[in-house]
């Protein structure tokens, strides 16, 4: 599992995935959500603007898993 450091108290899921280079655009996030490929802390996520906090674990099926940390 890789770590992704954020400089804020929270970050939106779509912004995190783009910032970390996991996806190239918000449209890709939308398709991943529609295909039920994203989980946060083991729960399926359907909203692309979900707030992500340090300590959360984001899993994208077939791509990897990342833990968000505070920097």
CATH number at 30 reads: 3.10.290.10
Q: What is the CA angle 29-32-35, rounded to 5?
A: 150
Q: Please list the rounded mean pLDDT of every run of 10 residues in the chain (71 residues).
A: 94 95 92 96 95 97 95 86
End-to-end CA distance of the chain: 17
Q: Which domain range does residue 53 map to?
A: 2-70
Counted domains in the chain: 1
pLDDT at 71: 86
If DSSP codes are grouped into helix, strand and coil, which group holds residue 53? coil
């Amino acid at each position: 599992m890789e770590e992704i450091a954020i400089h804020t108290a929270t970050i939106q899921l779509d912004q995190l995935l783009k910032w970390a280079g996991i996806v190239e655009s918000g449209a890709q996030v939308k398709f991943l959500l529609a295909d039920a490929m994203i989980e946060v802390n083991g729960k399926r996520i359907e909203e692309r603007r979900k707030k992500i906090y340090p300590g959360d674990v984001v899993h994208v099926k077939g791509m990897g898993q990342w833990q968000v940390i505070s920097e």
